[in-house]
Amino acid sequence: MDGQSAVMTVAKSEKRGQGRPADSGVGREVVLKTARRLVKEHPPARVTISMIAREAGVDPALVRYYFGDRSKLLLAVAESMLQETPRPKPGDIAPDAVIENSIRQTAKFTSSTKHIHRLMVDELAGSKTAEIGQRLGEMNLGAVQAFAELIARDDGATLRDINPLFLHVALLGLFDFFASAEPVVRHMVPEGTDMAALARGYEDFVADLVLNGVRAR
């Protein structure tokens, strides 16, 4: 290779390094889907960029190209998971039915994504990046605001004047331990207990508990 060819080769290499890594045929959504699966299967602290890249069959540099760093990738995972939870449109159903739907959806979401709150608390809330903390707050405030608007529209007709923040936090807490600490719960029930049936029973219990607490007396 002559001197001019060598210079051209180095220049091309440097130019490629500033943009997208060598094309592997794997897009951003595949990387995100892989990261979501791993967060569901493992505690978030164990999910690294190297692990995600290995499972997706790509170079770690491609993961960083798409998401920047691990915190931003985990934020994208959390946002993607939360977007899967449907919310009824205002006015479609009665206010207490909207709250019951939120209870049921929280139960379903928490049981299928056992590590979501550890992801938010351990990995995202403690992030040194202000942007991530702000976005995390916005994600949760959306649910609080939805409850606030529901209570305001009802104007005491069927619901008590309850604190929407407390309602949101209560639902997260009521289901978080039951899902994330299932091995502990399992030791509190007879051997051979159908845990899926137990979870359904607990969901019904929480729905009854909360709805009787929020309905106007």
pLDDT at 15 (0 to 100):
44
pLDDT digits (tens, 9 = 90+) for 10-29: 444 444 444 566 555 668 99
Q: Are 215 and 159 in contact (CB under 8 A)?
A: yes
Range from 26-30, 130-134, 167-171, 204-208 carrying the lowest mean pLDDT = 130-134
Q: Are 62 and 26 in contact (CB under 8 A)?
A: yes
Q: What are phi and psi of 215, to 5 degrees?
A: -70, 145
**Closest by CA position to 47, among listed 29, 28, 71, 24:** 71
Question: Please, which residues have CB within 8 angstroms of residue 48's CB and are 6 or more apart in sequence?
Answer: 70
Residue with tokens 């995972």: 77
14, 78, 96, 196 from 4: Cα distances, Å: 16, 49, 75, 68
Q: In the beta sheet, which residues pair with residue 159?
A: 215
pLDDT digits (tens, 9 = 90+) for 63-85: 999 999 898 898 898 888 877 76
- pTM, rounded to two decimals: 0.72
Q: Are 71 and 129 in contact (CB under 8 A)?
A: yes
| Domains in the chain with CATH codes | 3-68 (no CATH), 88-214 (1.10.357)
Residue with tokens 């202000």: 130
